[in-house]
């Protein structure tokens, strides 16, 4: 029986990161992946969908410019779009595979890759299965990183051709004439943005609440909703899916609305209601690894209730993002073989939503700050006051920073919506992790012209020394405090007590 220091089940973002961090410690590692390296971080997920988004954004921008000149946009074949997406996926997957091949070649005695699946028989014994005779290895530690899959609806038959999940979107061979998207969360709204950007699809979106992205602040979602509807998307608000079936090769769906039931027919459907962990066939449940109600592994800083078994990535109830999964994978290895300087911190996790325009966030939004209960201040600075946004002719959006309501003004969170939003939040994420105030940001010399100058002015508003004064540009700039369950407009100039 072969013996290893660490067995990693799953070669997606978190599992791959864990295995490579274990290489740094010089440990004997076996990495097991039954499908494709990179997982949903490359295929049917982050990389592929974001490539679709980038291409759709370019096409939408080109079409709008041609429209302004009275010219018609030429038809872009879907096959060309798909080929570009496939090229991006192949480039990244080939890179991962070549890196793995080199690691195996260089460290063959200490590193092994198995194309197959692994199942825990005991806390230290794992059975390997694949296109070979099953065998068992022994490992001191195991990290479960088997990822997740799209959540299904119990009464909807998904064939991944007419009724699809995100896993089936790459199988499209032409622009659907019409598309219904069930779920108005991040993934559903991203695909609504993508297909509306291309301009060839009648896109419809079912939102259970009275708006999309209900977990985000309303001032942000209003911009996204307005742009989606402007590009032709129909939003079924306060609606629930009653039934969906394939009729004559198309999709018939019935929704319940405040006005009653409605029946519609479209060419394709996308089910986008979240993901569920791939716990089956890992052996974790049978060994007594504790799970939560959703079926995720109930971990504490990546540790499970079994001392030598760890869980990372989408297997846990923490934030299901590629960057978080990679961080967790690395952290688990450092806990096993080293001494991490501190527990994992999730308060400064940066997120991006690929919408129209893009949205980036870190820490709390306003709604979360209100729910936390403590007083806070919030400043919003409109893109229309940022020279770079004006020069780009894309001045829709804003920066919003939430800080504690005291002299320290420690940063609680930030939201950015607009061009280059995702490039503007990292300094704030660092300050949140350091539990610092906003003073450091106010005096930084930013490149000019740049979008991130808006962050600086937003901070200066909170400090009472911005160039543009909120009481003059009330439409563009806002400065408020949440105290005793109500908002107060902060009067300019700020008094020392404020």
Cα–Cα distance, 249 to 251 (Å, whole number): 7
pTM: 0.92
Radius of gyration of the chain (CA): 25
Which pLDDT tens digits describe the chain residue by residue (498 residues)? 899 999 999 999 999 999 999 999 999 999 999 988 998 888 877 889 999 999 999 999 999 889 888 998 888 999 999 999 999 999 999 999 999 999 999 988 999 999 999 999 999 999 999 999 999 999 999 999 999 999 999 999 999 999 999 988 878 889 999 999 999 999 999 999 999 999 999 999 999 999 999 999 999 999 999 999 999 999 999 999 999 999 999 999 999 999 999 999 999 999 999 999 999 999 999 999 999 988 899 999 999 999 999 999 999 977 788 989 999 999 999 999 998 888 888 888 889 999 999 999 999 999 999 999 999 999 999 999 999 999 998 999 999 999 999 999 999 999 999 999 988 888 888 888 888 888 878 777 888 999 989 999 999 999 988 898 888 898 999 999 999 999 999 876 565 445
What is the Cα 228 distance to its own chain's centre? Answer: 19
- β strands within 294-397, DSSP E: 309-311, 350-353, 359-363, 376-382
Cα–Cα distance, 332 to 311 (Å, whole number): 8
On whether the CB atoms of residues 275 and 292 are closer than 8 A, the answer is: no
On whether the CB atoms of residues 415 and 434 are closer than 8 A, the answer is: no
Q: Could you give the 3-state DSSP secondary structure of residue 488? A: strand
Q: CB within 8 A of 258, min separation 6: which ones?
A: 238
> CATH topology of 3-43+84-149+276-337 equal to that of 357-489?
no
The domain limits of the chain are 3-43+84-149+276-337, 152-273, 357-489
| CATH fold of 357-489 | Enolase-like; domain 1 (3.30.390)
Q: CB within 8 A of 184, min separation 6: which ones?
A: 205, 206, 207, 208, 209, 211, 212, 213, 214, 235
**Would you tell me which CATH number, out of the four given (3.50.50.60, 3.40.50.10320, 2.60.120.620, 3.40.50.720), belongs to the domain 152-273?**
3.50.50.60
Cα–Cα distance, 299 to 317 (Å, whole number): 8
Residue 160 has which token pair? 């991944």
On whether the CB atoms of residues 78 and 173 are closer than 8 A, the answer is: yes
Give the homologous superfamily in CATH for domain 3-43+84-149+276-337. FAD/NAD(P)-binding domain (3.50.50.60)
Residue 376 neighbours by CB distance under 10 Å: 23
């Amino acid at each position: 029986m072969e013996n290893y220091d660490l067995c990693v089940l799953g070669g997606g973002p978190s599992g791959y990161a864990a295995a490579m961090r274990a290489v740094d410690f010089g440990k004997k590692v076996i990495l097991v992946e039954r499908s494709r390296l990179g997982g949903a971080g490359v295929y049917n997920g982050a990389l592929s969908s974001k490539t679709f988004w980038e291409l759709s954004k370019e096409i939408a921008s080109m079409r709008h410019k041609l429209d302004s000149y009275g010219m018609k946009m030429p038809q872009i074949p879907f096959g060309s779009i798909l080929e570009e997406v496939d090229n991006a996926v192949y480039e990244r997957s080939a890179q991962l595979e070549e890196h793995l091949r080199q690691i195996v070649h260089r460290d063959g005695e200490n590193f092994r890759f198995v194309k197959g699946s692994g199942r825990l028989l005991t806390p230290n014994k794992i059975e390997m299965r694949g296109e070979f005779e099953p065998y068992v290895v022994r490992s001191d530690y195991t990290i479960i990183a088997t990822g997740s899959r799209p959540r299904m609806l119990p009464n909807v038959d998904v064939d991944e051709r007419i009724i699809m999940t995100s896993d089936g979107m790459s199988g499209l061979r032409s622009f659907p004439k019409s598309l219904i998207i069930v779920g108005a969360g991040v993934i559903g709204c991203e695909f609504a943005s993508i297909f509306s950007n291309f301009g060839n699809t009648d896109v419809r979106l079912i939102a259970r609440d009275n708006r999309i992205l209900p977990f985000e602040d309303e001032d942000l979602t209003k911009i996204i909703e307005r742009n989606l509807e402007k590009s032709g998307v129909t939003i079924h608000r306060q609606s629930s899916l009653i039934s969906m079936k394939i009729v004559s090769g198309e999709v018939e769906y019935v929704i319940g609305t405040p006005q009653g039931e409605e029946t519609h027919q479209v060419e394709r459907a996308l089910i986008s209601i979240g993901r569920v962990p791939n716990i089956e066939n890992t052996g974790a449940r049978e060994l007594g690894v504790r799970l939560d109600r959703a079926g995720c592994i109930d971990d504490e800083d990546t540790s499970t209730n079994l001392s030598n078994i760890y869980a990372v990535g989408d297997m846990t109830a923490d934030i299901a993002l590629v960057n978080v999964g990679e961080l967790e994978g690395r952290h688990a290895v450092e806990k096993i073989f080293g001494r991490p300087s501190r527990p994992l911190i999730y308060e400064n996790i940066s997120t991006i939503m690929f919408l129209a325009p893009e949205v980036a966030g870190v820490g709390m939004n306003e709604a979360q700050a209100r729910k936390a209960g403590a007083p806070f201040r919030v400043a919003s600075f409109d893109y229309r006051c940022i020279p770079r946004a004006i020069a780009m002719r894309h001045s829709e959006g804003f920066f919003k920073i939430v800080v504690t309501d005291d002299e320290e003004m420690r940063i609680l969170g930030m939201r950015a919506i607009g061009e280059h939003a995702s490039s503007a939040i990292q300094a704030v994420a660092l300050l949140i992790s350091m539990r610092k105030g906003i003073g450091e940001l106010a005096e930084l010399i930013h490149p000019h012209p740049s979008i991130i100058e808006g962050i600086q002015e937003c901070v200066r508003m909170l400090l009472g020394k911005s160039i543009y004064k909120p009481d003059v540009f009330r439409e563009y700039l806002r400065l408020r405090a949440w105290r005793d369950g109500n908002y107060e407009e902060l009067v300019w100039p700020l008094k020392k007590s404020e």
